[in-house]
Each structure stands twice: as structure tokens, then as C-alpha cells.
Amino acid sequence: MLSACAESRRDYLREVVVMALETAMRQSELIALRWELIDLAKQTAHLVDTKNGDSRTVSLSTTAVALLKHRRPPGRATGQVWTGITTEAVKQSFQRACEPADIQGLRFHDLRHEAISRLFERGLHAVEVAAISGHKDLRMLMRYTHLDARKLAAKLG
């Protein structure tokens, strides 16, 4: 999937997909991400406009921080991280990138499911994952979780 995004004519697509997988942010949260609300030293991004109306601070992985450092313009950066991009543009670019890779039925929102599953596989507890993903209801959070049975078996020994 990432190689298909890298081959896309839209330069931003691979970065947005990586950030989605690393942060479990919703597509709208990624597009609204602003430089002045990111603290790379503390590895956090503050989200003001979320689906449930509450702001939250998201912890950033080292991969997400490295991507943002690479993308950050010189000097004091302000404004949106990805300027001039809409959620509809991301959705269409993502679908177009999936076609030549013969990836069918994958939606951008599925990346959020994958990201949340990866957080659990890294050993984070449900409350920690909920703090990152913004879920208030743990039952809803568990609907996003699709754990790999082989990885669970390896943990069991």
C-alpha cells in the first residue's frame, strides 16, 4: 500500500497514510493538523477539531516525528501541515493509488483500524489506546481492534 501511495501523483499521499498508521488520527484530523499545535520535542500534536467535539493531545511515534521534521519548513512554521488539501482529495487520491496495486475495498478509514490494532500489538493498554485514538467508549474502541492471531500466539509462548 505504501509503495502504491509513493507512486501516486500526489506527493502528500504517502506521508498522510504513514501518519494515519502511526497516529490513529482520523482523516479530518490529519488534514486539519497545524504546525503551531505540534511539539516535536515532546512528541505531541494537539487536535482542536475532533469528531466528538473534544480537543485531545496525541502522542507521536518516532516515525511520525521524523516525517514531520522532514516536512517542516525552515523557521517558525505555522498553518496547516498539508496545505490546500481536502479530505475529499485524500479520499480520491487514496482510491486511485489502490487501483494499480489491485487493492480492492480498502478505505482510508481502514487505516485507523489498522493503526489501533498495531497500538494494541505494541502492548499498549486499552485506556492508553483510547487516549491516542480519542475513543470515549472502550466498547467502540474494541470494534476497531483486529489483532493478529499469530502475534497473540507468540505472546502466549
- pLDDT tens over the chain, length 157 residues: 566 556 666 788 999 999 999 999 999 999 999 999 999 999 999 998 778 778 889 999 999 999 999 999 887 778 999 999 999 999 999 988 888 778 889 999 999 999 999 998 888 999 999 999 988 888 888 887 777 788 778 878 7
Alpha carbon distance 133, 50 (integer Å): 10
Q: In angstroms, what CA-CA distances link 124 with 26, 64, 119, 131, 148?
A: 19, 17, 6, 11, 15
Q: How many other C-beta atoms can be found within 10 angstroms of the C-beta atom of residue 125? A: 10
Q: Which amino acid is at 36?
A: E
Q: Enter the DSSP assignment of 77.
A: -
Rounded to the nearest 10°, the torsion over CA 3, 64, 135, 2 is 0
Grid cell listed for 92 = 480520491
Grid cell listed for 66 = 521524523
Residues assigned a catalytic role: 26, 51, 109, 112, 135, 144
Between β-strands 44-47 and 56-59, what pairing exists: parallel, antiparallel or unpaired?
antiparallel
Grid cell listed for 27 = 482523516
Q: How many other C-beta atoms can be found within 10 angstroms of the C-beta atom of residue 151? A: 11
Domain ranges of the chain: 2-156
Residues 6+ apart with CB under 8 A from 62: 43
Q: For domain 2-156, give the CATH superfamily.
A: Intergrase catalytic core (1.10.443.10)
